A = this chain, B = another copy of it.
Amino acid sequence: MHKAFEVTVLGTSSASPTKYRHPSAQFVRMEGEYFLIDCGEGTQLQLTRMGLRMHRIRYILITHLHGDHFFGLPGLITSMGLHGRSDKLTIAGPAALQPVLEAILACGETTLPFEIEYIVCDPNRSEEILVSPALKVVTVPLKHRIPCTGYILKENGPELKLNVAQCEKLKIPVQSYDAIKSGLDYVQDNGTIIPNAELTLPGNKNRSYAYISDTIYDETVAVAVRDCTVLYHEATFLHELEARAKETYHTTALQAGKIAAMAGVSQLLIGHFSARYNDADELQTEARNVFANTEVAEEGKTYTV
């Protein structure tokens, strides 16, 4: 049985929020852990409206320091403190995030009753910033007007199931089972190798969720997110505004579809829509022309990875 791996969209606007769209934020549940990706202004209220409990969030991943991606962070952190959080919170983001957050809290003489651990992302290279037996988080360097990092959240468990009957028959010691499930061959004391394929059966494929916002159209992103299960990619403009997208380091819906198709992902979610589009139908149609399994990210909706 797969564990829940779900993404709830909290905001789909770009820089200017509208009456119906909040700035970027997503709540992700994976392997029993809760992540918030980006935290635009009003995120704490969106969480409350959607019945998502802020105290569950253990990791916050911030892509970059434009306001529509982090202006909700001081308020969220302050509220976590007011609600008596004591668990450590881990925040990943650019180097400038920690000093500015500390300056904001200091000017209100706010002290938090919990520890914040900061992970500084290098905007120029991909890094594994979190690794556990169950999951990992990998960064994707993005090309935007300021240092910017995408994130891939991946299940990290063994993709092979033990062929228990066969292992017992061959008297494989139980303490070797984990190594075998991870894909290694078994080596007997006399040097005989029992190939992994004889000891395992295909299991669940690890799923992955890539969050790519904000970026100019950049085919290296397709390489980085290759074979991800679900790709969230910004699609700020329709392709008729390609020049505007390039100038502002954003992507068109058509280009987002191209990245998804090149990367061979299973599903594309698009968001970060310019305020000029009252509804996102045209953006969806445009992306679907290139990559059929495209969905428009809708606020309040939960997507299964």
Contacts and interface: CB of A to CB of B under 8 A. Distances in A.
B67 A74 contact: yes
Contact of A22 (B15, B18, B45, B104): B45
Nearest to A109: B146
B67 A75 contact: yes
B48 A45 contact: no
A257 B250 CA distance: 54
A65 B107 contact: yes
A280 to B, nearest CB: 18
Interface residues of A, number: 39
A270 to B, nearest CB: 21
Nearest to A51: B19
Interface string A145-171: 110000000000000000000000000
Interface stretch (A78-86, A128-136, A291-299): A78-86
**Number of this chain's copies in the complex:** 2
A49 interface: yes
A147 to B, nearest CB: 9
A174 interface: no
A95 to B, nearest CB: 10
Interface string A73-103: 0110011001100000000001011011001
Given A42-B45, A71-B78, A104-B104, 5 more contacts: A16-B83, A22-B45, A42-B42, A68-B75, A109-B146
11 contacts: A16-B82, A19-B45, A41-B45, A41-B75, A65-B107, A67-B78, A67-B108, A97-B107, A99-B103, A100-B104, A108-B146
